[in-house]
Amino acid sequence: MTTQNEEILETKNPRTLGPEFQPGQVIEYGVSDVANNFLNDTGYDIESLVFDLKTLAYSNPDSTPVFNNEPVQWGDVNGDGKIGYSNNPDLKNIFSDITIKDNIITFSDGVIPNGTLFYNPFATNPNVSPGAGIIPPVPAEQVDKDGPIRVASYYTAVPESTNVLGVLVFGALGVALKVKRSLHC
C-alpha cells in the first residue's frame, strides 16, 4: 500500500471503491497485472485493508515451465525480502503495520483519506500475474481487466466524528436525565 504513483496513473485508470462498499463488506476481484490503483470514494477514511489471496493453486500446460496445480502464495513485490512493504524511494508506505498469516495480508496503522488515490502492488510466488511468463498478457482491448490472481478484500474505517459526537451527546443526555430523576425521587 503506497501513495499514488503518477507514472502508473498515466498508464492505468484507478478502480473506484465507491459508497456501495461498506466497512467489513467483502469484495472479490482479479488483479489485472502487477498492481491496482484505487480511488477511495467510500465516504470513509480507510484505517485498515485486508487482502485474502484466493488463487492458491494454478495450472497452465502451455507455460514454460508447465504448471500443474502448483501452489501459489503471496510474494515479494520488489525484492526487498519483505512481503507487503515497498522500498521504492518514489513511493511512501501508507500503513506501518503489515501482518501476513497464510494467504491473508492485513495492512493497518495508517489512513487512506476519503477522496484520495492509492497504489497497491501485488506479487505472488510463483509470479502468476499476466505477462510474467506463466500467463500471457491481458489483451489491451479487453474491457474486463481482471486477471487470474483472485483476491477477496475488505476494509475498516475511521469512525466518523459526527457519529462519535452524536453517541457522546446522547449518552451524556441519558446520564443527565437519570441523575435528574434520581434527585427528584
C-alpha cell, 122? 501485488
Residue 143 has pLDDT above 60, yes or no: no
Mean pLDDT, to the nearest integer, of 152-169?
Answer: 66
Residue 139 has pLDDT above 50, yes or no: yes
Write out the residue range of the structural domain in which residue 77 sits.
4-181
For residues 112 and 95, give the distance between their C-alpha atoms in angstroms, rounded to a whole number.
9
Residue 144 has pLDDT above 60, yes or no: no
Residue 117 has pLDDT above 60, yes or no: yes
Residue 17 has pLDDT above 70, yes or no: yes
Mean pLDDT, to the nearest integer, of 85-96?
Answer: 69
Q: Tell me how crowded residue 71 is: count the other CB atoms within 10 A of its CB.
A: 9
For residues 75 and 124, give the distance between their C-alpha atoms in angstroms, rounded to a whole number.
4
Residue 47 has pLDDT above 90, yes or no: yes
Give the global pTM.
Answer: 0.72
Mean pLDDT, to the nearest integer, of 147-175?
Answer: 64
Cβ-based burial of 135 (10 A; exposed 0-12, middle 13-18, buried ≥19) = buried
Total structural domains in the chain? Answer: 1
Of residues 62 and 7, more confidence is placed in: 62
Residue at 25: amino acid letter: Q
